[in-house]
Structure 1
Amino acid sequence: YDPIGGARFYGVGNEFMGILVGAAVMSWALFCQLYPQRPRLRALGGCLFFAAVLAVIGAPFLGTNVGGSITAAAAFGFTWLLLEDRVNRRGLFALILLTAAVLGLFMFIDSQKRAGEQSHIGQTVALFGRDGFPALKLIIRRKLAMNLRLLRYSIWSKALLVAAAVLAASFIWPTSFIRWLMKNYPAVSQGISGVVLGSLAAFIFNDSGVVAAATCLLFASTAILILALQLKHDLGSAQPHVEDNAHSH
Structure 2
Amino acid sequence: MEYKFIKGKLLKASIRILETYDLPMFDFTLNKNDEVLFTNLSSEEESPVRMLSSGGINIVLDPKPMRLLALHVNKENELICGLREAGPPFPIHDFSVRQIAIFDIDYRRKVTLESDIKGRKLFSYPSCIRTDSKNVMYIVDSENSDWIGKLLAVARTGCVKFSYKGPPSLEEVRPKAVSITPKDNIILMDSINNALHVLNTKGILLALQFLDELDIENAITICIDYEGFLLIGCAGHNTENGKIHVVKIAEHFML
TM-score tier by shorter-chain length is under 0.3
TM norm structure 1: 0.26
Query: Which has the bigger relative contact order, CA under 8 A and spacing at least 6?
Result: 1
TM norm structure 2: 0.26
**The structure with more helix, counted as a fraction of residues:** 1
**The structure with more strand, counted as a fraction of residues:** 2
